[in-house]
Protein backbone atom coordinates (compact mmCIF):
# COMPACT_ATOMS: atom_id res chain seq x y z
CA UNK A 1 0.00 0.00 0.00
CA UNK A 2 1.33 3.44 -0.95
CA UNK A 3 1.37 6.21 1.59
CA UNK A 4 1.51 9.94 0.89
CA UNK A 5 5.11 9.84 2.06
CA UNK A 6 6.04 7.57 -0.88
CA UNK A 7 3.90 9.38 -3.44
CA UNK A 8 5.83 10.74 -6.40
CA UNK A 9 3.64 12.72 -8.80
CA UNK A 10 3.73 12.11 -12.53
CA UNK A 11 5.18 15.36 -13.84
CA UNK A 12 4.16 14.60 -17.42
CA UNK A 13 0.48 15.03 -16.55
CA UNK A 14 -0.61 16.94 -13.49
CA UNK A 15 -4.28 17.85 -13.44
CA UNK A 16 -5.98 20.59 -11.42
CA UNK A 17 -8.43 19.04 -8.94
CA UNK A 18 -10.87 21.92 -9.48
CA UNK A 19 -11.13 22.21 -13.25
CA UNK A 20 -9.15 19.23 -14.62
CA UNK A 21 -6.78 21.30 -16.77
CA UNK A 22 -3.38 19.78 -17.48
CA UNK A 23 -0.86 21.86 -15.55
CA UNK A 24 2.18 20.29 -17.25
CA UNK A 25 1.42 20.57 -20.96
CA UNK A 26 4.56 20.41 -23.10
CA UNK A 27 3.70 23.16 -25.57
CA UNK A 28 4.48 26.86 -25.65
CA UNK A 29 2.29 28.94 -23.37
CA UNK A 30 2.00 32.71 -23.55
CA UNK A 31 -0.16 34.27 -20.87
CA UNK A 32 0.10 38.04 -20.67
CA UNK A 33 3.68 39.06 -19.95
CA UNK A 34 5.00 35.55 -19.25
CA UNK A 35 5.97 32.86 -21.75
CA UNK A 36 6.87 29.26 -21.07
CA UNK A 37 8.53 27.91 -24.20
CA UNK A 38 8.60 24.36 -25.55
CA UNK A 39 11.72 23.58 -23.51
CA UNK A 40 10.09 24.83 -20.31
CA UNK A 41 12.15 28.02 -20.12
CA UNK A 42 10.44 31.01 -18.50
CA UNK A 43 10.44 34.44 -20.13
CA UNK A 44 9.03 37.41 -18.21
CA UNK A 45 8.64 40.81 -19.87
CA UNK A 46 10.77 39.41 -22.73
CA UNK A 47 13.66 38.49 -20.44
CA UNK A 48 14.74 34.98 -19.42
CA UNK A 49 14.05 34.13 -15.80
CA UNK A 50 16.02 31.45 -13.98
CA UNK A 51 14.33 29.86 -10.98
CA UNK A 52 15.12 26.85 -8.84
CA UNK A 53 13.40 23.61 -9.80
CA UNK A 54 10.72 23.94 -7.11
CA UNK A 55 10.06 27.61 -7.83
CA UNK A 56 9.81 26.84 -11.54
CA UNK A 57 7.30 24.02 -10.99
CA UNK A 58 5.14 26.27 -8.81
CA UNK A 59 5.21 29.23 -11.21
CA UNK A 60 4.51 27.00 -14.20
CA UNK A 61 1.52 25.41 -12.45
CA UNK A 62 0.14 28.83 -11.47
CA UNK A 63 0.51 30.18 -15.01
CA UNK A 64 -1.07 27.08 -16.57
CA UNK A 65 -4.01 27.39 -14.15
CA UNK A 66 -4.75 30.76 -15.85
CA UNK A 67 -5.98 32.72 -12.86
CA UNK A 68 -7.53 29.86 -10.92
CA UNK A 69 -6.29 29.42 -7.37
CA UNK A 70 -4.08 26.47 -6.46
CA UNK A 71 -3.75 25.41 -2.83
CA UNK A 72 -0.45 24.96 -1.05
CA UNK A 73 -1.17 21.25 -0.65
CA UNK A 74 -1.79 20.89 -4.39
CA UNK A 75 1.43 22.78 -5.18
CA UNK A 76 3.25 20.44 -2.78
CA UNK A 77 2.08 17.42 -4.81
CA UNK A 78 3.51 18.98 -7.96
CA UNK A 79 6.91 19.34 -6.29
CA UNK A 80 6.70 15.84 -4.85
CA UNK A 81 7.22 14.43 -1.43
CA UNK A 82 5.97 15.68 1.89
CA UNK A 83 6.35 19.45 2.01
CA UNK A 84 5.15 21.85 4.69
CA UNK A 85 2.92 24.84 3.91
CA UNK A 86 5.64 27.18 5.14
CA UNK A 87 8.04 25.70 2.59
CA UNK A 88 5.62 26.43 -0.25
CA UNK A 89 5.20 29.98 1.09
CA UNK A 90 9.00 30.41 1.08
CA UNK A 91 9.27 29.13 -2.52
CA UNK A 92 6.57 31.64 -3.52
CA UNK A 93 8.38 34.46 -1.70
CA UNK A 94 11.68 33.65 -3.41
CA UNK A 95 10.01 33.37 -6.83
CA UNK A 96 8.41 36.79 -6.29
CA UNK A 97 11.86 38.17 -5.41
CA UNK A 98 13.25 36.79 -8.68
CA UNK A 99 10.46 38.44 -10.68
CA UNK A 100 11.15 41.73 -8.86
CA UNK A 101 14.69 41.76 -10.29
CA UNK A 102 13.01 42.29 -13.67
CA UNK A 103 9.95 44.28 -12.54
CA UNK A 104 10.35 45.93 -9.11
CA UNK A 105 6.58 46.34 -8.66
CA UNK A 106 5.82 42.68 -9.43
CA UNK A 107 2.55 41.55 -7.83
CA UNK A 108 1.21 38.86 -10.16
CA UNK A 109 1.46 35.94 -7.73
CA UNK A 110 -1.37 36.73 -5.35
CA UNK A 111 -2.28 35.04 -2.10
CA UNK A 112 -5.88 33.93 -1.67
CA UNK A 113 -6.13 34.62 2.04
CA UNK A 114 -8.28 32.24 4.02
CA UNK A 115 -7.92 29.52 1.37
CA UNK A 116 -4.21 28.70 1.64
CA UNK A 117 -3.94 29.20 -2.10
CA UNK A 118 -2.18 31.29 -4.73
CA UNK A 119 -2.98 32.39 -8.26
CA UNK A 120 -1.26 34.07 -11.17
CA UNK A 121 -2.77 37.43 -12.16
CA UNK A 122 -2.42 37.96 -15.90
CA UNK A 123 -0.91 41.27 -17.02
CA UNK A 124 0.13 42.42 -20.46
CA UNK A 125 3.68 43.49 -21.24
CA UNK A 126 4.62 47.09 -20.55
More confident: 97 or 15 = 97
Mean pLDDT of 6-10: 35
Task: Give pLDDT tens digits for 43-76.
Answer: 999 999 999 999 999 999 999 999 999 999 999 9
**% the chain with pLDDT above 90:** 67
Would you say 108 and 118 are in contact if contact means Cβ atoms under 8 Å apart? no
Please, which pLDDT band fits residue 17 given cuts at 50, 70 and 90?
low
Architecture of domain 26-120: Orthogonal Bundle (1.10)
- State the pTM of this model: 0.78
C-alpha to C-alpha distance for 53 and 89, rounded to whole angstroms: 15
Amino acid sequence: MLSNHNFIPDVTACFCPNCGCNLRESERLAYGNIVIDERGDLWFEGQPLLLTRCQHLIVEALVRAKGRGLTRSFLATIIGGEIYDQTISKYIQRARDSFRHIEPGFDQITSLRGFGAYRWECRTSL
